[in-house]
Structure 1
């Protein structure tokens, strides 16, 4: 099996108004269920809290092949999530709609010295969604693929993904940083500058940018 991720899921989890803390704790429990080699086909897994007024969370994960994704969907984390959905979630996620194709990635976290830290040294991140104009879907796809060399030159951007939701005009960037300073430097970098400079040409609307708190990581 290839160890390079090619597909994944970005699963939004909207907590009931009084269940935000409980959902966050559940995601830490989910991290425990992935400990060891429980899901070898799940290459990378991130539990996130969105910095939004409402208690919104997400799971972002990657796989090399479809069988890895199916094993995760039927695995212990998914079983526990759906068993607790009525208690924790305002809406149950539509899992097929969360599937994405991976266009490009950089995964070079500095894991040395993090010990048992469930965050693996990563603390904050970004989730950026963009909607391409119908006649610019290919151009947006190539733009995101071409952004990788620029990200490779950002030493404070250790983990970066460019994704496409198949059958739609929606693309995304999901990335993670050890410090707020690294996140701020990325937002001031060449990729962000190029993306915002081409909004009118490529996109239906301005990118939707949400900052995230990293809760736990398998990587």
Structure 2
């Protein structure tokens, strides 16, 4: 089973100033080169949302909280906050530490596109939904066109699914496949509302396993 023993992650979100969109995009295209120099960062993805092209996210993973904390004090986050007054709509990046509930990571695949979705389980279904996400891995493993799949848990007991694909055809095949179908089939049981799937473009990435 392709996987990576990462259990910690961080998600940083920024919005570009209206007249700085191209500059911000170029910044994130180059960001993987900076992140790769930080040995403790295992996987790194810089993305741009299609439904809101001013919104960018960095998602990176770690094997320990100490490594994550070192990253949060390192050059990638430092560069984000250094450029924030001139490039972003907020003075600092919105950084959220998250736990990796389950994942699939395939070496040797270059991601170009992806999707994110964030959901809130019903209060009495948090543990059951977490177990559902762990149990979804066999379905994900059946999809050889889905090389990167992360289920994450936030501090407020909400969850996210972040997925990356080699091309648009693979993304669309995944959205019509068993993993998405299982989530939709169980949405009424687990969730307060149906998940909103947001498509993204991968600006830069690097992957270790």
Question: Residues 109 and 159 of structure 1 are in contact (CA less than 8 Å); yes or no, is this contact kept in structure 2?
Answer: no
User: Distance in 1 between the 2:164 and 2:53 partners?
Assistant: 21
The reply to whether residue 145 of structure 1 matches residue 143 of structure 2 is: no
The reply to whether residue 129 of structure 1 matches residue 118 of structure 2 is: yes
User: Distance in 2 between the 1:107 and 1:53 partners?
Assistant: 27
1:171 is aligned to 159
The reply to whether residue 209 of structure 1 matches residue 197 of structure 2 is: yes
Alignment coverage as a number of residue pairs = 203
2:150 is aligned to 161
Structure-to-structure mapping, 1:181-200, within 5 angstroms: 181-200=169-188
Question: Residues 47 and 60 of structure 1 are in contact (CA less than 8 Å); yes or no, is this contact kept in structure 2?
Answer: yes
Q: CA deviation at 1:28?
A: 2.4
- In the TM superposition, what whole-angstrom CA distance separates every residue of 1:112-148 from its partner, at most 9, and x where no partner exists? xxxxxxxxx2110011111111111111101111000
Q: Scaled by the length of structure 1, what TM-score is found?
A: 0.88
2:93 is aligned to 93
SS at match of 2:17: coil
Structure 1's consecutive aligned runs of 4 or more residues displaced over 3 angstroms after TM superposition are: none
Question: Residues 20 and 56 of structure 1 are in contact (CA less than 8 Å); yes or no, is this contact kept in structure 2?
Answer: no
Question: Residues 84 and 93 of structure 2 are in contact (CA less than 8 Å); yes or no, is this contact kept in structure 1?
Answer: no
SS at match of 1:155: coil
User: Distance in 1 between the 2:118 and 2:63 partners?
Assistant: 23
Cα pair distance change 1:214/1:94, threshold 3 Å? closer
Task: Compare 84-93 and 127-136 and name the one that shifted more.
Answer: 84-93
1:57 is aligned to 56
User: Distance in 2 between the 1:105 and 1:54 partners?
Assistant: 27
User: Distance in 1 between the 2:61 and 2:46 partners?
Assistant: 12
Question: Residues 39 and 71 of structure 1 are in contact (CA less than 8 Å); yes or no, is this contact kept in structure 2?
Answer: no
User: Distance in 2 between the 1:50 and 1:109 partners?
Assistant: 24
SS at match of 1:60: strand
Q: CA deviation at 1:174?
A: 0.5
Identify the match of residue 105 of structure 1 among 94, 103, 106: 103
SS at match of 1:42: coil
Q: CA deviation at 1:93?
A: 2.8
Instruction: Specify every segment of 5 or more residues in structure 1 that has no aligned partner in the other structure, as ranges.
Output: 112-120
User: Distance in 2 between the 1:15 and 1:211 partners?
Assistant: 18
Q: What is the CA RMSD across the aligned residues, in angstroms? A: 1.4
